[in-house]
Amino acid sequence: MSFLGNLIPGYRPFRYTGENVACNLCGSTEKAVLATRDRWLNPLTNVICTHCGLIRVDPMPTDAELERYYTDHYRLHYQSTLEPTPKSIDRGQKSAKARLDHLQQFLKPGARILDIGAGGGEFLAEAKNRGYEVEGVEPSVGFARYAERTYGVEVHIAPLNKIDFGSRKFDLIHSFHVFEHLRDPFASMELVHTLLKPDGYFYVAVPNMAEKRTPTGMFHFAHVHGFAYETLRMMGEKAGFEWVPSTALRAAQVFKRLDAPRSDWFRFPKHAAELEKKFREARLSKHLLSADPYRRAWGRLKRKLGERKLKAAG
């Protein structure tokens, strides 16, 4: 086990105690278990709120446990490096360009943009190239410094609620695959609301839990919350935003700041039951009965071994 654990850090179970919490979106404590394993087949329980459909790790890790997890495990899950790799930079640049092509319609020339979870700074760099005023937030020191050094952009290395933005307000706050990591995503959306100009926009993208995948493939300790289009939209509306209509009902949406939060945000009352049913059916389907998840885990292991050999040979 420790041999495998060293080879694939994600394979190593992360032990934690956690705490019971109510649903971050609707406050209900009613829940149903969706899965008891993560994508590496380690024990990890994910539940769905049977009232609104928001998914969460249960019990919820505490702040201290999450911090320990990030210090010991994270990034190593994906890449054994503390800085971006050429591959991640290339991927980040392409995806940043596509997002800015889409977001440009909401922005005036010279608009001020904040990127929450700036990573290696590809989005900031692309936005700066297009003439916008940019700054970022990124908790990983290696990535933040890399972005500053490489693109000459300002990146804050602190939790969002600890940063002093002075009187600065933003025209667009952008966050790509960050909110699934937060214990209190609703509070963070409310904070985003306070940092925007009156007509500012909020772009948020998270993994789409309604997407068809293998049942365990979706779950990951660091993803303490799981959204679909419906829960993302309801949370945005509850936090004081208006949804900007889009035909792609993915878990990536644009919101416009409203002066006051809306009380009629609970607009998808059937969503929880529908999503739960989807997971139940996926569990029953051939996927789990077949060796698929095991084969994928084995494939990952073989790839890692191969990379290791290449490294040793080079």
Which residues contact Zn ion (rule: CB under 5 A)? 23, 25-26, 28, 49, 51-52, 54
Q: How far is the CB of 22 from Zn ion (least distance, A)?
A: 8
Q: State which residue, 121 or 185, has the beta carbon closest to Zn ion.
A: 185
Give me the half-sphere count of Cα atoms (radius 13 Å) on the Cβ side of residue 1.
Answer: 4
- 188: which 2 tokens? 């963070």
Q: How far is the CB of 117 from Zn ion (least distance, A)?
A: 24
Q: State which residue, 51 or 183, has the beta carbon closest to Zn ion.
A: 51
Q: State which residue, 49 or 111, has the beta carbon closest to Zn ion.
A: 49
Q: How far is the CB of 26 from Zn ion (least distance, A)?
A: 3
Q: State which residue, 23 or 297, has the beta carbon closest to Zn ion.
A: 23
Q: State which residue, 23 or 254, has the beta carbon closest to Zn ion.
A: 23
Q: How far is the CB of 269 from Zn ion (least distance, A)?
A: 11
CA dihedral 224, 160, 249, 90 (to 10 degrees): -90
C-alpha 183/C-alpha 160 separation (Å) is 13
Give me the half-sphere count of Cα atoms (radius 13 Å) on the Cβ side of residue 255.
Answer: 30
C-alpha 172/C-alpha 185 separation (Å) is 18
Q: How far is the CB of 9 from Zn ion (least distance, A)?
A: 32
CA dihedral 92, 96, 97, 101 (to 10 degrees): 160
Q: How far is the CB of 32 from Zn ion (least distance, A)?
A: 11
C-alpha 195/C-alpha 161 separation (Å) is 10
Q: State which residue, 106 or 266, has the beta carbon closest to Zn ion.
A: 266
Q: How far is the CB of 212 from Zn ion (least distance, A)?
A: 23
> b/e map of 43-73 (b: 16 or more CB within 10 Å)?
ebbbbbbbbbbbbbbbebbeeebbeebeeee
Amino acid letter at 123? Answer: F
Burial environment of residue 152 by CB neighbours within 10 A (0 to 12, 13 to 18, 19 or more):
exposed
Q: State which residue, 156 or 225, has the beta carbon closest to Zn ion.
A: 225
Q: Show the beta-strand stretches assigned E in the chain.
A: 31-37, 43-49, 55-57, 112-116, 133-137, 154-156, 170-176, 196-205, 225-226, 241-243, 252-257
Q: State which residue, 175 or 231, has the beta carbon closest to Zn ion.
A: 231
Q: How far is the CB of 150 from Zn ion (least distance, A)?
A: 41
